Structure 1
Amino acid sequence: MKTISLLKNTLFLASLLLLQSVAGILGTAVVLDNKYNGIIQQGVSVAGIQVGGLSTVEAAEKLERSLPLPAESTFELQDGGKSFSFKLSDIDAKYDYRSMAVTAFKYGINDKYVIQLMSLLKRRAEPADVPAKIVFSEDKLATIIQTLKTNWDSPPKNANLSLSNNKIEITDKKDGYILDFDGTFEQVRLALSEGKLQVQATGQLLEPDVKTADLSTLDALLAEYVTIFDENDGNRSHNIALASATINGSLVKPGEIFSLNQRLGPRGAENGYLKAPIFIQSQLALDFGGGICQVATTLYNAALLANLGIVERYSHPLPVNYVSLGRDATIAGDYLDLKFLNNTGAPVYISSNIESGTLTIRIFGTKITEQREVRITTDKSVIQPKVVLQYDPSLPAGETRVMNQGKTGYTVKVYREVVVEGEITTRTLISSDYFKPSDTVLLVGPKPEGTEK
């Protein structure tokens, strides 16, 4: 009996193996037949539409009937809470029916018959679905993304500080954003090639230099200085306003040296500056950036009154009309600079504003416990111009003419005094300037006849 039972089991296993072999042969035959007759394997679909058993031509025709043209559909880009949509018709988008049918045909077509059979059996259990493919005008998509970049790109905005009714107010910072054109273009291209109509844009948040937390310790106005300029002098006023806006919001950390040249950068046409009067070898001439020395002067005096350390400062060759002698500051190129040290032990913040021809620069910092006052005093000596006579025989006898009106010269010493509870605790020499006088030149004609020579 055991022998008969064993024989039956052997025959049963042999039958199963035979059936599997036949199935494999038949499956392989089906795959080969489909391959060489251009028939898509059973179980394959495109965007959910069954195309198995169809030729690529038949599949393309079925897809064209079953998949509506996407022209009126919209594509959406998102990033960081922002979104932007455009119609697919804007980029001449359409389904590539032929390409989708060919892709469907390639599923399971392989030169290794066993792999083909396994693929066929797998698809019967888990049908394969080819994503829809959209083709479009890349030039038109590039134009749309460039427009989006123009609209979405924004510079970061520093947190800023202002004084309102003698109260310090802080405005929060605002992050900027820059769209990655190439990355976003590629994301959209890939999404459309897979029939998707939404994608995340590629971009980067830009943090400002001055954050709200950086200003949290600033609770005192350390100093303020004001100068006046002629608004009707258009180019000069423009340069003053541009330089003022550039330094406004500067945060100087403890122990840091502030450089006005570094902050402003080149003062040429490429950075928006115009030609206005400046001193060149003690003569007035037109050049780019004329007027920024008034910003330098105003900032210099605010730094003096805030008791900051003056590291570098230069005077003009001649007196200027917007500040008293010895209190001016000039910058030029990258060789004359205004620099000061934040010696307070806490951050200081520069506020620079213009209103109705008035430039106001304030320096904010942290309150000190002692009652302190900073005074700027000046010692000035006047140097009278010499009178030089030059004989001019062409003049009428006895006549004298002024060829050059001389200018008074000065020596000026500026001191900074720190007064605590009514007593001067320190008196420091800040600068010693010399303004050279110019001679008065008189032309003298011949002496009248009858007078002694």
Structure 2
Amino acid sequence: MYATQISPRRRYSFSWFFAIFFVQLILIPALSLFSMIEWGGATFGEKIFQEEIRIASLPVGGQTYEEARQKLLEAVQASQNTEIRFVLDGQAYPIDKSKLQLSFDVEATLQEAYARSREKTGFFSRLWGDSAPVNVPIKIAFDRAEMSRQLDAIGQQIERPAVSATGAVSGNTISIVPEVVGYRINLEQSLSAFEQVISSNLADWSGELRLAVQEDVPQIRTADLESIKNMLAEQSLPMAVSGSSGLANLQQLVSRLNGTVVLPGETFSFLKATGPYTQENGYVLQPILADEQVVPDQLGGAATQAATALYQTILQNRLTVIERHAAQRPVSYTSAGLEARVDGEELDLRFSNQTEKPLFIHAALQSNQVRVALFGAKQDVPVATLVTEKGATVLPNTIVRVDQTLGPNEEFIERKGSEGFTVAVYQSWQENGIFRKQKVSEDYYKPLHNVVAVGPVYEKDKKARATTVPGAQQEGGAAPAETADDGGGTPAAAPPPDIPMPSAPSTDANSGSTGGTEVVNGIIYQN
């Protein structure tokens, strides 16, 4: 017998045939079974959404394309009857939906949802762990310009500036008034919120949307002021302004000064807190007069009076004074040396808070007085008493002005002068049973010269008249020398007094003349 031999080529062909047959036998039934499971036993060509799919939060899993369409149309119809309201702090602000031209593209949304259902939930997607999106938003369109306009109108209603925490003073006690957080509408975020919510949640949307706002945080918070519980010092001065404009200026000054908080390490500026002194800021400007008695602060002396009350308060509390200026002449409402002149431009009152806690300035007009009080945390520093000591004096000169309207023997006192002098200010306090004293400042006030109007003066009458004019003859037969204010509140080297004087010394010690001015026996004549 001869053995049957099978060639290698035929053996390989048989193996390939068997492999292809096996794949067809196993794979085709498996794919058919998987397809039936995937599509829920639907008939061929019927579209079924996967269980994971939602459209605008509406569950459409297991539903056919037509069923999903009907469900979506019903939800859209229901939303047409829902009022759109933006809500903030419990207050609702409705939107006029009829002007938005709001529309829903149901067909485009269904097609996208079905495409994602097929792409993300197939055999290989499940095999690789890739799941379908939970929610497919419905496609919407609306007039964004109209929505922006309506949101702007809402913004005008709700927008408010931030208000810092402050103090409410009653007598010598203070209570803290909490801050108010400001609001500014965030237009873009509000628009995005509307678009996102309405397209993603038709299932249970109530029509309410939270209005997106940007908070305006105040500079001073309640926590910053929690240590302010005690009155540290106070000062009340009688009001020294006249007329409605003077009172209006004083009211505006104390209104701006009141409630000022000086944080630890900060430097307070009176001009910054109360200025600039303009009509736009509610001030009534008063011109600076040439009279030496007028305090030139642009407000008829009101600014200097308010600054003076504050100055004495901070001196009592022994705070560090950085800048302070004396007035040209003593003021009527306080002792010389205790005033603080400001001019609205360069001359300022400044002090530094070198404590570890904030300070609160209270200012008010009470019973025809200007009251300033300083509040803060209880301190171990003793309150100082302010003491003034008057120094050397300078007698005034007499200016005689020839008045042609008066008779030869007539005279009229236009201004009665006053002496010039220096004054030193000290802080005095008791510490550990020991009295202490510290010098604060030393100021010089020039004399205010007498002014006398006389009739036409004849040579033979001048010497006789010199013995009758008030202040004409001083002790020792000559006027004492003056010193000038150097602007820093302390005496400086003495130039000639700031009054009309001859341009050159006369040949006679007691008489002389230069142009329209003549000096006889110490009397200055102005022709």
TM-score by length of 1: 0.72
2:307 aligns to what?
296
Question: What pairs up with 1:46-57 in 2 under 5 angstroms?
Answer: 47=56, 48=58
1:76 aligns to what?
86
Give 3-state SS (helix, strand or coil) of 1:324's partner: coil
Q: 1:144 to 1:289 in 2, by over 3 A?
A: farther
1:365 Cα deviation from its structure 2 partner: 4.2
In the alignment, which of 25, 30, 44 is matched to residue 12 of structure 1? 25
Q: 1:89 to 1:6 in 2, by over 3 A?
A: same
Instruction: Give the AA of the match of 1:257.
Output: T
Q: 1:293 to 1:375 in 2, by over 3 A?
A: closer
Determine if the alignment matches structure 1 residue 242 to structure 2 residue 252.
yes
Determine if the alignment matches structure 1 residue 101 to structure 2 residue 110.
no
Determine if the alignment matches structure 1 residue 277 to structure 2 residue 278.
no
2:348 aligns to what?
337
Distance 1:64 1:234 in 2: 72
Distance 2:283 2:175 in 1: 33
Instruction: Give the AA of the match of 1:301.
Output: Q
What are the ranges of 5 or more consecutive residues in structure 1 without an aligned counterpart? 24-32, 35-40, 110-114
Distance 1:372 1:116 in 2: 81
2:388 aligns to what?
377
Moved more, 331-340 or 136-145: 136-145
Q: 1:263 to 1:228 in 2, by over 3 A?
A: same
Q: How far does the alpha carbon of each residue in 1:114-137 deviate from its partner, in whole angstroms, 9 at most, with x for none?
A: x895368699x9797543636256
Question: What pairs up with 1:180-199 in 2 under 5 angstroms?
Answer: 180-191=185-196, 194=199, 197=207, 198-199=209-210
1:28 aligns to what?
none
CA contact (8 A) 2:403 2:453 kept: no
Determine if the alignment matches structure 1 residue 178 to structure 2 residue 183.
yes
1:412 Cα deviation from its structure 2 partner: 3.8
Distance 1:133 1:46 in 2: 13
1:135 aligns to what?
142
Looking at secondary structure, tell me which structure has more strand per residue.
Answer: 1
Q: 1:91 to 1:298 in 2, by over 3 A?
A: farther
Q: 1:53 to 1:290 in 2, by over 3 A?
A: farther
**Paired-residue identity, %:** 15
Distance 1:181 1:269 in 2: 35
In the alignment, which of 211, 214, 219 is matched to residue 203 of structure 1? 214
Distance 1:128 1:365 in 2: 58
Q: 1:409 to 1:138 in 2, by over 3 A?
A: farther
Q: How far does the alpha carbon of each residue in 1:74-101 deviate from its partner, in whole angstroms, 9 at most, with x for none?
A: 32334xxx1332334366245403x343
1:414 aligns to what?
424
Distance 1:199 1:137 in 2: 18
CA contact (8 A) 1:135 1:193 kept: no
CA contact (8 A) 1:93 1:134 kept: no
CA contact (8 A) 1:240 1:292 kept: yes
Q: 1:71 to 1:380 in 2, by over 3 A?
A: farther
1:206 Cα deviation from its structure 2 partner: 1.1
Distance 2:166 2:357 in 1: 17
1:155 aligns to what?
162
Distance 2:219 2:230 in 1: 23
1:63 aligns to what?
73
In the alignment, which of 218, 221, 231 is matched to residue 231 of structure 2? 221
Distance 2:402 2:18 in 1: 149
Q: How far does the alpha carbon of each residue in 1:275-331 deviate from its partner, in whole angstroms, 9 at most, with x for none?
A: 243646655789569622221111011112222232211123344333333222122
Instruction: Give the AA of the match of 1:186.
Output: L
What are the ranges of 5 or more consecutive residues in structure 2 without an aligned counterpart? 1-14, 37-44, 126-130, 465-527
Distance 2:76 2:230 in 1: 72
Moved more, 14-23 or 196-205: 14-23
Distance 1:307 1:450 in 2: 59
Distance 1:400 1:7 in 2: 142
Distance 2:75 2:181 in 1: 47
Q: How far does the alpha carbon of each residue in 1:357-413 deviate from its partner, in whole angstroms, 9 at most, with x for none?
A: 4321112345455876523224166655422334456644433355x4254243241
Instruction: Give the AA of the match of 1:259.
Output: S
Distance 2:423 2:463 in 1: 48
Instruction: Give the AA of the match of 1:181.
Output: N
Give 3-state SS (helix, strand or coil) of 1:327's partner: coil
Instruction: Give the AA of the match of 2:187.
Output: D
Q: 1:380 to 1:89 in 2, by over 3 A?
A: same
CA contact (8 A) 1:172 1:212 kept: no
Q: Which has the higher contact order (CA 8 A, sep 6+)?
A: 1
Greater Rg by CA: 2
2:366 aligns to what?
355
Give 3-state SS (helix, strand or coil) of 2:25's partner: helix
1:12 Cα deviation from its structure 2 partner: 1.6
CA contact (8 A) 1:388 1:441 kept: yes
Distance 1:208 1:62 in 2: 50
CA contact (8 A) 2:401 2:451 kept: no
1:415 Cα deviation from its structure 2 partner: 1.6
Moved over 6 A (4+): 3-8, 20-23, 49-52, 59-62, 125-128, 448-453
1:225 Cα deviation from its structure 2 partner: 0.3
TM-score by length of 2: 0.63
Q: How far does the alpha carbon of each residue in 1:9-52 deviate from its partner, in whole angstroms, 9 at most, with x for none?
A: 444225348869999xxxxxxxxx99xxxxxx764986549797
Give 3-state SS (helix, strand or coil) of 1:15's partner: helix
2:467 aligns to what?
none
Give 3-state SS (helix, strand or coil) of 2:162's partner: coil
Instruction: Give the AA of the match of 1:67.
Output: Q
Distance 2:366 2:425 in 1: 30
Give 3-state SS (helix, strand or coil) of 1:277's partner: coil
Distance 1:397 1:425 in 2: 61
CA contact (8 A) 1:46 1:132 kept: no
2:119 aligns to what?
118
Instruction: Give the AA of the match of 2:108.
Output: V
CA contact (8 A) 1:389 1:441 kept: yes
1:260 aligns to what?
270
Please report the RMSD computed on the Cα atoms of aligned residues, expressed in angstroms. 4.8
Distance 1:394 1:448 in 2: 19
Q: How far does the alpha carbon of each residue in 1:209-230 deviate from its partner, in whole angstroms, 9 at most, with x for none?
A: 25345442x5543321012337
